[in-house]
Amino acid sequence: MLLTIRHNFTLDFSTRTYVMGVLNVTPDSFSDGGVNFSPDKAVQRALKMVEDGADIIDIGGESTRPGAEPLAAGEELGRVIPVIKEIRKQSSVPISIDTYKASVALSALDEGADIVNDISGLRADPVMARAVAGRGAAVVLMHMKGTPKDMQKDVHYEALIPEILDCLRESIRMAADAGTAPERIIVDPGIGFGKSYDQNLEILKNLQMFQGLGKPVLAGVSRKAFIGRILGGAPPSDRLEGTLAAVAISVLNGANIVRVHDVKEAAKAVKVADAIKRQRVQEIF
């Protein structure tokens, strides 16, 4: 399975799992809000993640933690565009813009981003599907029930996995109808977005089912609340080991891309999980 993104860059998922590094340019994200809020710090962090093994940098200017209020597009643009421009000057790493607003996506793509990571699966902005297709960008279609502000208020599903699959199929159809090529689409079941503790575990346990959509699968488990609960209430800053366990399980259960904050550690965990999954003998450094 291949993913083709802009600038003639292709990810070959038959060979390995890819690592997406999280870069939150926000003052209030649940796990690292404020750490990389200044453009200079954000760029330095991005380049360090590339050095540590990130294959993609995912840049977000609006917190999507549970209960988060929406952010004006102008403010979001002011946070992410300077960072995207400077990273692109210094690195050829594929850049993903984490937004559900078409205006932000278009500006980011024009400044050098390659992928749009839309937590709404193209549903929040009626122009987004056409915007992505018009720029020839790749797109991550995530499942979310509701919005970040209210997504944890109603997490009832009659049939969890089938309902998520149906929603993702509809998002794929929307992308395709707008003109996005099949090889530019990624799916994400949306762990932590409108799901309960048990539902998050069910998704990870059955991640292989999402391969049936015929698209690369992205798993975003890094520092999520379900890990903190398993670890007895550990805060986001103390969820590294739990995250690495969830990352390894995600790889074994079918993830093609893992989205993480701690790139250096996760890249090593992915390498080991890949070797086990693919039964390869690798040189030990």
CB atoms under 10 Å from CB of 1, counted, come to 13
What CATH number is given to the structural domain containing 262? 3.20.20.20
Distance CA 162, CA 206 (A): 11
Q: Is there a domain that residue 285 lies in?
A: no
Q: Is there a domain that residue 283 lies in?
A: no
Distance CA 66, CA 148 (A): 5
24: left (phi over 0), alpha (psi -120 to 50) or beta: beta
Q: Is there a domain that residue 284 lies in?
A: no
Given a cut of 70, whether residue 31 has pLDDT beyond it is no
- Which are the catalytic amino acids? 224, 259
Q: Which domain holds residue 228?
A: 2-278
Given a cut of 80, whether residue 32 has pLDDT beyond it is no
Number of domains in the chain: 1
User: Among the residues of the chain, which ranges form H helices?
Assistant: 39-52, 73-90, 102-110, 128-134, 160-178, 197-205, 225-230, 240-252, 263-278
* Predicted confidence (pLDDT) per residue in 66-112, tens digit: 777 889 999 999 999 999 999 999 999 999 999 999 999 999 999 99
Backbone angles phi and psi of 261, in degrees to 5: -90, -40
pTM for the whole structure: 0.92
AA letter at 199: Q
Reported as a pLDDT band with limits 50, 70 and 90, residue 4 is: confident
Reported as a pLDDT band with limits 50, 70 and 90, residue 230 is: very high
Q: Is there a domain that residue 111 lies in?
A: yes
Given a cut of 80, whether residue 36 has pLDDT beyond it is no
Residue partners of 282: CB distance under 8 A and separation at least 6: 271, 275
Q: Are 25 and 61 in contact (CB under 8 A)?
A: yes
Residue partners of 148: CB distance under 8 A and separation at least 6: 63, 64, 65, 66, 67, 68, 70, 119, 193
